[in-house]
Amino acid sequence: MYNIYRPYSYELLPEFEMSDEYDQEILDDREFYEYEYEGKAPVAPPMPSSINLYDTDLNAPCFAGNFNFMFDANTNKATATFNTDLSFKSAAIDKGKVFARLQEAANYWTNAAALEIKDKNGNYSRRIDLGFQVKTVANPKYANKRTSVHPDGSKAILLMQKDREVVSLEMHIFASSSPLVIAHELGHVWGLKDEYKDSGKIGWVTMKVSPCHVGTRSPLLNDTNALMNGGNEFRTRYFKHFGRAILNAFWRMPNHIIPVIRNGQVIGKTIQGRIRLLKKTVTGGAHNTFGPLNPQFDIIQVAKR
């Protein structure tokens, strides 16, 4: 729904659509920017900064993250794009099926969560939708990573087990890798760590020393339904680095800057938000079961002195 006060439009969250008090707040903003000085030309309200980053990881938890990231303040949408060149290790591999599974896996991530940004009145009054996509490129120069597609029954890396997908400098998958498994591997491309208990000696060493594993003592090992563990459910923690990057685009927005006050003095300022889950699993569904490792919201903020 849009409440339009020419020449600007403001998108409202559902919980505010019927609020007269909130509508008046939007109108007050408009009056401040357009009519602060009577008889003068209207002053455009400030806009968040745009973001357009190539080959970034947004300071993600795992070093294997490589993607492009764009935030468009005009549409309230942010998109992470994985540009990849495909390398097929066998001519017998069905390229069309592999490409279709890559697209399906990326679609699982799209709109799984959103960022909601708090304003100075304590309302989460702006929502940013999070999109994800995979694009194939012919020239490796334009790829974030190569995707190597191996025949079933082979090893992606010498020391790995057969048919074991892995992401490092490249993303390694197999001819029959499912969209769910590829969605997990894309989690590494987005910069996320493994959360599952691995087996065998190599598995134990991986959990102990790998910078892209949460480690042998992490409570996340018990969150077995999570996508980066052995399940198919999304978690708010998967989207926090995207949210923080977007919050930093709002420093020119006075309505979203919240002061930090100590002993009556302003000692800093913050922009605050929360990650809201929109999908329970990769195939959708309302996220209505929550717990300590699976909160409904995850509060995030960025700060300046």
DSSP string, the chain: -EEEETTEEEE--GGGTT-HHHHHHHHHHHHHHHHSSTTSPP-PPP-PPPEEEEEE-TT-SSTT--EEEEEETTTTEEEEEEEEEEEES-TTS-HHHHHHHHHHHHHHHTTSEEEEEE-TTS-EEEEEEEEEEEEE-SSGGG-SEEEEEEPTTS-SSTTSPTT--EESSEEEEETT--HHHHHHHHHHHTTPPB-SPP-HHHHHHHHHH-TTB--TT-GGGG-TTBTTTTS-B--GGGGHHHHHHHHGGGTT-GGG-EEEEETTEEEEEEEEEEEEE--SBTTB------BTTB-SEEEEEEEE-
pLDDT of residue 248: 97
Domain positions in the chain: 1-45, 53-304
pLDDT at 200: 66
Q: DSSP letter at 198?
A: P
| Token representation of residue 150 | 């191996």
For residue 210, the model assigns a pLDDT of 80
- The structure tokens 């309230």 sit at 76
pLDDT of residue 12: 36
Q: What is the residue-level pLDDT of the chain in tens, covering all 305 positions?
A: 333 333 333 343 333 333 333 333 333 344 444 444 455 666 677 899 999 999 999 999 998 999 999 999 999 999 999 999 999 999 999 999 999 999 999 999 999 999 999 999 999 999 999 999 999 999 999 999 999 999 999 999 887 889 999 999 999 999 999 999 999 999 999 999 999 987 766 666 677 668 889 988 999 999 999 999 999 999 999 999 999 999 999 999 999 999 999 999 999 999 999 999 999 999 998 877 888 999 999 999 999 98
What dihedral do alpha carbons 167, 172, 174, 179 form, nearest 10°?
40
Q: How many CA atoms within 13 Å lie on the side-chain side of 289?
A: 7
Burial of 39 (0-12, 13-18, 19+ CB in 10 A): exposed
Q: What is the 3-state secondary structure (H, E, C) of 153-181?
A: CCCCCCCCCCCCCEECCEEEEECCCCHHH
Q: What is the pTM of this model?
A: 0.84
Distance CA 20, CA 4 (A): 14
**198 and 214 Cβ atoms separated by less than 8 Å:** no
Q: What tokens does 213 get?
A: 């594993």
